[in-house]
Structure formats: C-alpha cells, structure tokens
C-alpha cells in the first residue's frame, strides 16, 4: 500500500471514529433530554405560563391524590362545582373552572428548580416511577412539591419516554360564617400587571375576564362540612357575592403548597384555608330595627295572650297583668356572628344574630298596684339569596 493510500485510509478511519463518537454523544444527549426531569419541567412551565388548558391535557387533574413523596392516599371523592354541599367533606374537580381561575391569577408561579429526589435514578424499568421535586416561587416564598414521573416504553431508536403522573394542584377551602351566600368569586385584579403578572398578550390561552365561582364552606372549628376546590397554584383575589344586607371584603390568597398550608385534612391532605366573613350592611340594620318595632308592638297589642315567640317576661305576666304599657322599646345594639351547632356537618341555625338594649314596660298587677319589668329581645338573620328573613326570639 502506498503512503498516499495509507494516509487516505487513516484519515477515513479517523473521520468515522469522530462521527461515531459524536453520534454517541448526541444520542445520549437526546436520550437524556427525554428524562423524568424534563417531562416534569415541560409540564410545570405550562402552569407558569398560565396555560391551564395545556397543563390539564398533559396531566389529567383527576389523577390528584395528594401525593407528597412519602405516601399515596386513596383518591378522595370528587364532585362537580356548584353541587350541593353534603354531610361529608368533598373535593371539587372542574377542569373548565381551573382554566377560568388560572386566567384570573394576579401572579403565577416562577419555576426555580426541577430535580430528581435524593436517591432516585432514572434507570428504572418501564412502568416504574421516580419522584421529581419541583421548587417554585410565589411572592418570594419558595414551595417544593413532589410529582411522580412514570417510565414508558422506549421509542423505536431507544429514546426514553416519561409520563407525569401527579398534577400540580392545591386544594383551597374558603370558609364563611354564612356559606349559604355562596358561591364566592375569584375575580380578575385591575392592577394584576402592576404586580408582576405575566402579560396575556400573545398567550395561547389569554385570561378569561369573567369571575370564576368557588364553593363556600362553614367554619371547620364548628364541625361544618368542608368543600375544597382543586386549583393550580397562583395568587388570587376572592370576593363574596354582592348582597343588599350582608357583604364580605375581598381577600388576596397566595395559593401554594406546604409553604402556605394552613390546614391538614384526612380527606384532602394539606390544604390552603382562607375565609370570607360577611358583615351586616346599613340596610340590614335599618330593616331589623323596623321589623323589631313592629314585632314588639304586635306582642303588646296581643296581651293578655301574646304569641310564644314574644318576650318571656311579657308572657310570664299575661295571666294577671293589665293596663300594660311599653315604656322603653328595645333598640338595636349589635349584629354579629355566633358559633352554631352542626349536625352531620350542617348548621342547625343561622350564625348572624342581632342583640338589643333592654326593654321596659309598666303594668297593673293583680293586687291593683303598678309595677314594671324589663324584657329582652334577639333576632336571627336567615340569608335567602339577596333577601333575608328575620326571626325574633326571647333568648339566645
């Protein structure tokens, strides 16, 4: 073989070896690119971009189990949004509502890190899962969630494929003193862009500018049934429905995982709990005062046989008192919420009640002398949509 021929052969072999090495590096890189970390990152980046529709298509929200990297609880019961609150705790899963709510976020998550959990390796058999930790930021607060990724069958050229198993969702419970005034609304903030929210311009899924409804629960401390709603993490503004007689100031809620968890439930796992407390309006005060005046007048007019809901001090003297005269009519003193008893998770009576100043009346007793007595009056407020029914009672 001539020197020229040996040189050509040597160069050719060198090129082949370089190409083979390059191909091996590229193949390894491409194969790694399809790993569990990349699969999870692609998913959470959709949430960070506000693409709830795409996220729900990639990972079914119905797969939520509250997985935390340590245990896998049985999937909790799910109901449709707006369904009647039952005597048991419920978890609301509504894909359409998730998409609407995601569009109302005043701030979305910022993905800080995605990495395999300590001790896990992507070299697992097909059908096995690995834990992937996702660290994200909301308003400067760091939260870490653990999502499982399952290895699927490799592609025809040996590339690995992974499927994200767990959706990145957070259960939200909104408690209220008057859950019958629900649902609450998650509303779009007018100043959302001034506080760091990503712009909707050019987004494949622009924010929906209509309120999204979310169910209300009664106070958990009183044994009320809880209704948790699954949502993608974000910062949301929650307000109560507009009512003539009761109103609740809107609240901003940072909905994230363990960093903002306020309650742990056997049914839901870690949840974020907030409250909407309805307060009386001037219209309610005026109406209670007006109806109280009419109620007391009717009780005195009914003497000597006042109805059973009239003040007990008046009824106690109905058998012998004559010439009964109202001297001091009770005046509305306060309207507030009281703890209520719950049976099977349902309140037995309304929480909003009114108290009055002490009333006083004169009467002629059976010995012919004049005497006087004080009496008490209370009112229970039953919300009924935009109206209320006021029930007067002689005692709390």
pLDDT in tens, 144-195: 999 999 999 888 777 889 999 999 999 899 999 998 888 888 876 544 433 3
208-237 pLDDT, tens digit per residue, is 456 788 888 888 888 888 888 889 999 999
Tracing tokens 């509504």 back to the chain, one arrives at 94
DSSP state of 207: P
Whole-prediction pTM: 0.78
311-361 pLDDT, tens digit per residue, is 999 999 998 999 999 999 999 999 999 888 888 777 888 899 999 999 999
Q: Are 376 and 336 in contact (CB under 8 A)?
A: no
- Strands 322-328 and 279-280 turn out to be unpaired
Q: Mapping DSSP to helix (H, G, I), strand (E, B) and coil, where does residue 312 land?
A: helix
Q: Which region, left, alpha or beta, applies to residue 97 given φ > 0 means left and ψ of -120 to 50 means alpha?
A: alpha
Neighbour-count burial for 106-138, b at 16+ CB within 10 Å, e otherwise: bbbbebeebebeeebebeeeeeebbbbbbbbbb
Residue with the bigger pLDDT between 346 and 380: it is 380
CA distance 183 to 212: 9
Tell me the helices (H) and strands (E) count for the chain, helix number first. 6, 25
Q: How many CA atoms lie within 13 A of 50 on its CB side?
A: 23
Q: Are 376 and 392 in contact (CB under 8 A)?
A: no
pLDDT band at 201 (very low <50, low <70, confident <90, very high): very low
Least confident of 1-10, 224-233, 239-248: 1-10
């Amino acid at each position: 073989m001539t020197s020229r021929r040996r040189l050509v052969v040597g160069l050719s072999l060198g090129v082949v070896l370089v190409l083979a090495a390059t191909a091996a590096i590229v193949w390894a890189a491409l194969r790694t690119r399809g790993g569990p970390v990349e699969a999870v990152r692609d998913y959470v980046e959709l949430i960070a971009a506000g693409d709830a529709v795409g996220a729900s298509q990639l990972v079914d929200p119905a797969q939520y189990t509250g997985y935390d990297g340590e245990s896998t609880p049985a999937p909790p019961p799910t109901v449709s949004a707006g369904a009647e609150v039952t005597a048991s705790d419920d978890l609301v899963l509504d894909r359409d509502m998730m998409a609407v709510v995601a569009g109302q976020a005043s701030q979305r998550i910022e993905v800080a890190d995605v990495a395999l959990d300590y001790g896990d390796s992507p070299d697992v058999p097909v059908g096995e899962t690995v834990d992937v930790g996702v660290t994200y930021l909301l308003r400067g607060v760091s939260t870490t969630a653990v999502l499982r990724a399952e290895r699927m069958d490799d592609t025809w050229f040996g590339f690995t494929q992974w499927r994200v198993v767990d959706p990145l969702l957070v259960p939200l419970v909104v408690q209220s003193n008057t859950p019958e005034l629900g649902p609450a609304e998650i509303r779009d903030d007018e100043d959302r862009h001034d506080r760091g929210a990503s712009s909707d311009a050019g987004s494949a899924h622009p924010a929906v500018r209509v309120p999204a409804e979310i169910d209300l629960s009664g106070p958990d401390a009183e044994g009320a049934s809880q209704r948790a709603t699954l949502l993608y993490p974000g910062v949301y503004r929650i307000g109560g429905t507009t009512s003539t007689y009761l109103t609740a100031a809107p609240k901003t809620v940072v909905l994230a995982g363990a960093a903002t968890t306020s309650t742990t439930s056997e049914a839901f796992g870690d949840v974020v709990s907030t409250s909407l407390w309805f307060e009386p309006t001037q219209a309610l005060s005026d109406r209670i005062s007006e109806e109280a005046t009419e109620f007391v007048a009717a009780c005195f007019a009914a003497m000597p046989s006042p109805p059973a809901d009239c003040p007990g001090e008046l009824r106690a003297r109905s058998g012998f008192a004559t010439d009964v005269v109202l001297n001091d009519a009770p005046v509305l003193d306060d309207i507030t919420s009281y703890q209520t008893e719950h049976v099977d998770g349902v309140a037995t009576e309304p929480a909003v009640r009114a108290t009055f100043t002490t009333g006083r009346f004169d009467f002629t007793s059976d010995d012919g002398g004049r005497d006087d007595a004080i009496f008490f009056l209370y009112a229970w407020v039953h919300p009924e949509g935009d109206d209320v029914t006021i029930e007067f009672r002689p005692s709390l």
